[in-house]
Amino acid sequence: MVDGLIDPMSVPMATTHFSQQVEQIMRSNGDNECADLCKDIRNWWESEDTAGIPANERINLQTGLRDRLLRCDDCDHFPPAMMWIKGWPIQLWEALLANIDAKALLYCLCHGGTYNVRSFSSMLGETYFSELVLNDKRGRGTVSCQEFGQFVGTTIERVQARLDPNRQANAQ
């Protein structure tokens, strides 16, 4: 179904394709593994898109997809996967795991167990590498192993400055 979509980024299409009705039809056809995937994606989507869900319920909704993704990779296999992990593009696989784990950690760190989901980048890797490009004085968008320590140090200093509650007082 996804290959024939006119707009694969369409929210109505996604909610239709991963609906409970589609899952039930898959189960009635004996396609239980596909139905489980449908459910995991729908639950993850609900955790991302539904307002007012308590943090523990939001994390529980994400667990199915996270567990599925982790079961896909064989960390003992060499060489490691380069482009695909059991049919998942590696960038998507990594981004989804990073997103789910980072948001779970944020719930633990934030007072009151909540935060504004719009303030958090959906692609942790994109944020990291955009910062890398900003710090690369040579304009190549990469750093060498020697420069990496400097890059991390500079990033930590900037974050500390941004989070300093007395920043305005120190600037005067």
Residue bearing tokens 């590696």 = 90
Q: How far apart are CA 93 and CA 167, in angstroms?
A: 38
Q: Taking the CB of residue 99, how many other CB atoms lie within 10 A of it?
A: 20
Percentage of the chain exceeding pLDDT 90: 21
Structure tokens at 33: 């593994």
The confidence score (pLDDT) of residue 67 equals: 94
Tokens of 66: 């996270």
**169 dihedral zone (left: phi>0; alpha: psi -120 to 50; beta):** alpha
pLDDT 10s digits, 153-171: 877 787 788 778 887 755 5
**Mean pLDDT score, 33-62:** 90
**Best CA proximity match to 84, nearest among 69, 103, 101:** 69
Q: How confident is the model over 76-125, as pLDDT tens digits?
A: 777 776 788 888 888 888 888 988 998 888 877 777 666 665 555 555 55
